[in-house]
Each structure stands twice: as C-alpha cells, then as structure tokens.
Amino acid sequence: MKNSVVMVTGGAGFVGSHLVETLLANNNEVYVFDVVPIEKANNLKEVRNHEKLHYFVGDLRKQEDIQAFWQEDATAIYHLASVVGINHYIDDPLKLVDIVVIGTRHILAEAAKSNTKVIFTSTSEVYGKNPEVPWAEDGDRVLGPTYVDRWSYSTGKAVCEHMLYGMYKQSGLPFVIVRFFNVYGPRQSPNFVVSQSINKVLRDEQPLLYDDGKMTRCFTYVDDIVKGLILAAVTEEAVGEAINLGNSVEVTVKDVIETVLSTAQSDIGYKQFITSEEYGKQYEDIIRRIPKVDKAEEILGWKSEIQLEEGISKTIGWAKANPWWVGKSLDEVAEVK
Ligand SMILES: NC(=O)c1ccc[n+]([C@@H]2O[C@H](COP(=O)([O-])OP(=O)(O)OC[C@H]3O[C@@H](n4cnc5c(N)ncnc54)[C@H](O)[C@@H]3O)[C@@H](O)[C@H]2O)c1
C-alpha cells in the first residue's frame, strides 16, 4: 500500500500509533480519526508534525464527525477505535455499545457509500471461554450470561463482525477482520498484564498477580501486529475473511510477571489480586486463550516472530527512555476514556 491514501481510526491509541508510524514511513497519506486532541496524543509525539499526517478530532458516536473526516479516495480504513480494557467496559457497558457497535455502524455506512475496504480489529475475546483450544477462526463462541459485564466486549465486537459479513453478502463491501491475541509493547496503557507489570516494577511497586496466575495467554508483540494489519489490507485473498493474529506460544500470566521481574532485574515480587473480591460476579476469567495460526500463515504469509522475552526486553528499554509513560497512572488512563 505504498503512496496511497489510508484512514485509521483510533490512531492515537497504542496499536494505532504504531500502525500510523509505519504507514507514514511507507510514504502513505495517513488520515487519523480519534477523540483525543493531537496535542494530548503522546503516542504520536514522534510524527505529530509529519507532512503526510492528517489528524481529525472526532467521536465515533457522531455520524457527522465521520462524514467530515471521510476520504473517498482512500484505499482502506483501518478501524481500531474502540473501548479497550476490561475496567472500562465493566464501569460503563452502555458506552461500549455506543462506541463499538453504533460507532462501527457509522463507519460502515460511510464505507458503503465509497466502497472502501474496511480492516476491522476484532479480538480473541469473540471465542469467549471455548475450552477447545487452539481456536480456529470458524470455532464456536462460548460465552457466559449477560449479567457478566465482561462478555459485552466480546458480543459488541461479534455484532460488528456480523454487520461486516452481512454487508459483504448484500452489497459486496470489502472487509478483512483481524482478531488480535493479547498485544503488548511500547506505549500500551498500563492496565494490561505486560504493561501493568512493567509500569509498576519501574515505579518500584509490586505488579498484580490475578488469582493464581495459572491462566494462559499468547502474547503478541505490537510490531508483528502492525505487519499483519498491513498485510491484511493489501492481500486480495484476505477479503471477506476473519483471521487470527496471535503468537502461538502459550505462557501463564505468572510466567509473564516473573519474566518482567527478571528482565528488569527486580526482586520486588508481586501482590495478589483476588478478582472475586474486586469485581464480584461481574468478572469471569478465561483459562486458556490460544490461537490457531495456520490461516494467517496461508493467506497473509504472516507469523508472529518476536517472542516474549525479546518483546518484554524491548518494552522495558523503551519505558526507561520514556518517563512520561512510567509516570502515567491507571487513573490518568481511565480519565481519557
Ligand atoms: N491491545 C490488545 O491486546 C487488543 C486485543 C484485541 C483487540 N484489540 C483491538 O485493537 C484495537 C486497538 O486497541 P489498542 O490496544 O490500541 O487500544 P487503545 O485504547 O490504545 O486505542 C483505542 C483508541 O480509540 C480511541 N477512541 C475511543 N473511543 C473513541 C471514540 N468514541 N471516537 C473516536 N476515537 C475513540 C481512543 O482515544 C484510543 O486512541 C481496538 O479495536 C481493540 O479492540 C486490542
């Protein structure tokens, strides 16, 4: 996708900012839509004044903002803007519906007018707690009851996937769904296991170990994710498909915290966080979350290349060089949303 016009929603966010930097480095005209004003978008500090960056402040919940932003000649829109992080959707499940479901509906309405390819960022959460791992893209969705707020995110993203399949069948709107598995790396908000542990250790605080820490995840470094996103946009065979983007190595959350402690050469240990005491019945954890990765390899020629130790080491190196991020508390992050 060299020298073309592309749109990115959520470009001031963690994954979005890395994507924007790469798209600019590849000589694209990049139009970013985000609710955060550019002067507050620390994640885009390095490229803020880039001549090919066109930044638009708007809210996905307002159709008129999206209309004002829309670039008819764009080759694709990468739709990343979303409510992200379990604390946010437990705090305000209605906001999740407004931003994820109604916001995406607004994006699709504009995309349909100009027949613009939509790269939709979905999540491993759509598989819910399906015990049959690894999860292939056509695997079942196994969810808990609706009074458990955590399933609202999975359901919201799945509704968006349904809208995309529907519009593709009815009017041929081109799309690719990418389902990310636990992305981590520089600039991530410090409320996910890798970023929270690094942030706390560098502040001389104990990282939180959720329950027994035996749940497993497949952590995927942000640079790998950006490569996968761009391949999804430029690969013709990917149109009309949902594709997992995830590392295939399964590790326990406890192992991750221990890797952070040893890489940062810290002996501070960890603090127990009992989810049933903090969240009550609103919380339900997923024991194992593992992607099947063959489809990404076959269609996109993509494979996650950066393994956890290397990714954690890179992220710690970046965090030490960026005191603004280390000083960022969870409360400040919550305020932005
Ligand atoms: N990080 C992960 O591990 C992960 C895993 C699975 C899926 N995803 C998906 O990837 C995408 C990017 O995630 P991220 O980790 O970069 O999240 P992030 O929170 O860092 O970025 C989301 C961006 O969306 C913007 N946004 C929120 N509400 C908005 C609104 N109403 N209007 C306009 N912009 C708004 C935010 O300001 C932010 O810049 C999301 O769609 C997320 O669901 C992420």
Condensed to tens digits (0 to 9), the pLDDT of residues 274-289 reads 888 877 666 678 899 9
* Residue 335 to residue 337: CA distance in whole angstroms: 6
Percent above pLDDT 70 for the chain: 95
Q: Where are the domains of the chain?
A: 5-185+222-247+288-305
Q: What pLDDT is stored for residue 3 in this prediction?
A: 67
Ligand 1 atom nearest residue 125's Cα = 6
pLDDT, one tens digit per residue, over 31-70 is 999 999 999 999 999 999 999 999 999 999 999 999 999 9
What's domain 5-185+222-247+288-305's superfamily in CATH?
NAD(P)-binding Rossmann-like Domain (3.40.50.720)
* Average predicted confidence (pLDDT) for the chain: 94
SS3 content of the chain, % helix, strand, coil (to 5): 45, 15, 35
Cα–Cα distance for residue pair 305/239, rounded to 1 Å: 24
pLDDT value, residue 91: 79
Kindly report the pTM of this predicted structure. Answer: 0.96
| 101, 161 Cβ separation under 8 angstroms | no
Look at residue 336 and tell me whether its pLDDT is greater than 50: no
Burial category of 238 from C-beta neighbours within 10 Å (exposed 0-12, middle 13-18, buried 19 and up): buried
Q: Ligand 1: which residue has its CA nearest to atom 18?
A: 13
8 A C-beta contact, residue 89 and residue 152: yes
Give residues with Cβ within 8 angstroms of 210, minimum separation 6: 193, 253, 273, 275, 285
pLDDT, position 1? 46
Which tops the pLDDT comparison, 277 or 129?
Answer: 129
Whether residue 16 has its Cβ less than 6 Å from ligand 1: yes
Q: Among 9, 18, 59, 84, which is best to mutate for testing ligand 1, by the most ligand atoms less than 8 A from CB?
A: 84
Residue among 153, 177, 152 at smallest CA distance from 167 = 177
In this predicted structure, the answer to whether residue 255 has a pLDDT above a threshold of 50 is yes
CA distance between the termini of the chain: 31
What's residue 282's pLDDT?
63
- pLDDT at residue 59, as a whole number: 98
Query: How many C-beta atoms lie closer than 10 Å to residue 209's C-beta?
Result: 20
**Residue 25: is its pLDDT beyond 90?**
yes
Q: 141-151 b/e with 16+ CB inside 10 Å = b? A: bebeeeeebbb
138-192 tens-digit pLDDT:
999 999 999 888 899 999 999 999 999 999 999 999 999 999 999 999 999 998 9
